[in-house]
C-alpha cells in the first residue's frame, strides 16, 4: 500500500496520540513535526510546554528547583497533553519515559515511537547547543553512553522503533507511517 493510502487509513483509525521517545539528539522534535504534518494532526513538544508553564528555560528549572521538580512538571504536562481527546503527535524530553508514572500513561494511552540513533550521531547533534543540563557535567559521549545503557531497556518497550540516521529523512518519516499503519491493523 502506498504512503498516501496508509496516511488516510491512519487518519480514519487513529484514536490515540502518538508519543515520540528517545535520547537527546536523536531528532524527536524534527521527526515528530514531520509526522504530525504528514498526518495533518497537531504537534506538541513537552519540553516547550514545561518551559511555557514555568515561565523559564529548562536549564533554569534544573538550576533553581532541581531535576525531581522538572520531572513532576514533565509528568503533569504529558498527562494534560494525553488527556486531550484529539490525537496529536507529542515529542517528549529524553528522560520523560523514565518516570514510572509518565511511562504508565504513555504505554496505556498512546502509540509510542522510539527514535534511535548511533552514539556518534547524538554526540554531534547535541553539541550544537548547550541547553541540556544533563550534558553539562562532563564528556557528552560518556554521559550519552551511560544514559543509553540505563534507558534503552525502557525505550525498547515502545510500540514502534525507527532509526533516525539510516536512510533519508523522507524514508524515515515513511517508515514511521507504515509502522503506525501496521500497528493499527
Ligand atoms: C532530558 C532531555 C531533554 C530535556 C531535559 C532532560 C533527558 O530533552 O527534557 O534536558 O533527561 O534526557 P531532549 O531529549 O529533547 O533533548
Q: Express each pLDDT in 79-112 by its tens digit.
A: 999 999 999 999 999 999 999 999 999 999 999 9
User: With a 6 A CB cut-off, is 103 part of the ligand 1 pocket?
Assistant: no
Question: Is the model's pLDDT at 130 over the cut of 90?
Answer: no
State pTM to two decimals. 0.97
> Edge to edge, what strands does the sheet with 17-21 contain?
43-45, 89-91, 17-21, 110-116, 160-163
Residue 113: what are its φ and ψ, rounded to 5°?
-125, 120
C-alpha closest to that of 119 among 140, 104, 105: 140
Span from the CA of 51 to the centroid of ligand 1 (angstroms): 12
Between the CA of 132 and the centroid of ligand 1 the distance, in Å, is: 6
Distance from the CA of 23 to the center of ligand 1, in angstroms?
7
Amino acid at each position: 500500500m502506498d504512503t498516501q493510502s496508509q496516511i488516510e487509513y491512519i487518519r480514519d483509525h487513529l484514536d490515540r496520540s502518538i508519543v515520540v521517545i528517545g535520547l537527546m539528539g536523536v531528532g524527536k522534535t524534527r521527526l515528530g513535526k514531520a509526522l504530525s504534518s504528514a498526518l495533518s494532526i497537531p504537534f506538541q513538544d513537552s519540553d516547550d510546554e514545561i518551559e511555557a508553564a514555568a515561565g523559564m528555560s529548562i536549564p533554569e528549572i534544573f538550576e533553581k528547583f532541581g531535576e525531581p521538580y522538572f520531572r513532576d512538571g514533565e509528568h503533569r504536562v504529558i498527562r494534560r497533553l494525553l488527556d486531550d481527546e484529539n490525537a496529536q503527535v507529542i515529542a517528549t524530553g529524553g528522560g520523560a519515559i523514565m518516570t514510572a508514572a509518565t511511562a504508565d500513561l504513555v504505554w496505556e494511552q498512546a502509540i509510542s515511537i522510539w527514535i534511535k540513533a548511533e552514539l556518534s550521531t547524538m554526540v554531534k547533534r547535541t553539541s550544537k547547543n548547550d541547553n541540556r543540563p544533563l550534558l553539562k557535567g562532563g564528556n557528552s559521549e560518556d554521559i550519552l553512553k551511560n544514559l543509553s545503557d540505563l534507558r534503552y531497556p525502557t525505550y525498547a518497550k515502545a510500540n514502534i522503533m525507527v532509526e533516525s540516521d539510516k536512510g533519508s529523512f523522507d524514508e524515515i518519516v515513511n517508515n514511521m507511517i507504515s509502522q503506525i499503519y501496521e500497528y493499527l491493523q
